[in-house]
Copies of this chain bind each other. A is one copy, B any other.
Amino acid sequence: MAKKNTPRKNFSDRFRELGLGIGRTTSGKLIDKEGHFNVIRKGIGIHGFSLYHWLINLSWIRFFVFVLLSYILVNLLFAVLYWMIGAEHLTELDATNMHPFWHCFYFSSQTLTTVGYGRISPVGELASMVAAFEAMIGLLGFAFATGILYGRFSKAKSKIIFSDRILVSPYQGIKGLKFRIANTRRNELIEMEARLMYSFLHEENGEFKRRYMSLDLEISFINMFPLPWTIVHPIGDESPIQGKTAEDFSRERAEFLVILKGYDETFNQYVHQIHDYDFDEVVFDANFKPMFDPAAGAGTVVHLDKISDFIKL
């Protein structure tokens, strides 16, 4: 009796274990091309922003432009300061006819980078004080840049590629749902785990709700990942996608969500990657072509550009 009042984990609870909610009814992709969630968080203001996070994830070209613009901006600010103090407090060894503001600007750049040629140098207390402060700011700024640079390239950027399509192929007398992944980096990934979730719209009291179910995999863990891995969900009698057709998947706006986890030996970090296949990326009665080079001699040769190649049966 006591037990009965304590509710068991029911069907709709288990869905929520993914952390994805059940209210989503839109057909837009859950996960974008870069493996991030399509979620917009509002009402948190500036607190959700992290300069470090933003700088770490910037492309290299944008990062470099950001550094360059910051450098110019800081120099301009100090140039204005020196100019207000008076350009005559920055002596020159021999006079040139440069405009005093640029005179201040280049002195600022020579101070900020601590290059300090000395052809222009501060005279008087105020100019000396500002220059002493600027040199400190310069060193801190480049200390900051050093940290960001290290953060940028010490972050494990696994690049696992997925076959474009997910296939329904013959598999050991029954059917199997198959897709293929490979590591494109020289980083050695080990202890790879894979999970496959099936998500679909389900009618409940006349309302459509998105549901999630786990699909069992033939192999869900491999020790090492030097070769491509074909991940297979055997479509047996217990599979929730048993007997489903392309029309079924389309009607229920099916999605297949892949969650990968592994350990990157080069960066000594755990890496995670998520990917989703839409209902229109399912191909029925097809099989993947081999990626190995049959003519290869002593070593094992893999053609990674063939990862999506399949033939209709």
Interface residues of chain A, those whose CB is within 8 Å of chain B, are 1-3, 5-7, 9-10, 13, 16-21, 23-24, 26, 28, 36-44, 47-53, 56, 67-68, 71, 75, 91, 93-94, 96, 98, 102, 106, 109-111, 113-119, 121-125, 128-129, 131-132, 135-136, 138-140, 142-147, 149-151, 153-157, 159, 171-174, 182, 184-188, 190, 192, 195, 218-219, 221-227, 229, 234, 236-239, 259, 263, 265-270, 272, 274, 292-293, 296-306
Shortest Cβ distance from residue A295 to the other chain B in the assembled complex, whole angstroms: 12
The residue in chain B whose Cβ has the minimal distance to the Cβ of A197 is B223
Please name all residues of chain B whose beta carbon is closer than 8 Å to the beta carbon of A67 when the two chains form the complex: 136, 140
Please name all residues of chain B whose beta carbon is closer than 8 Å to the beta carbon of A184 when the two chains form the complex: 41, 44, 47-48
Decide: A19 near B116, CB < 8 A? Known: A28-B299, A106-B128: no
Would B38 and A299 count as touching, CB distance under 8 A?
yes
The residue in chain B whose Cβ has the minimal distance to the Cβ of A10 is B172
Would A113 and B139 count as touching, CB distance under 8 A?
yes
Would A154 and B153 count as touching, CB distance under 8 A?
no
Shortest Cβ distance from residue A278 to the other chain B in the assembled complex, whole angstroms: 14
Shortest Cβ distance from residue A220 to the other chain B in the assembled complex, whole angstroms: 9
Would B7 and A234 count as touching, CB distance under 8 A?
yes
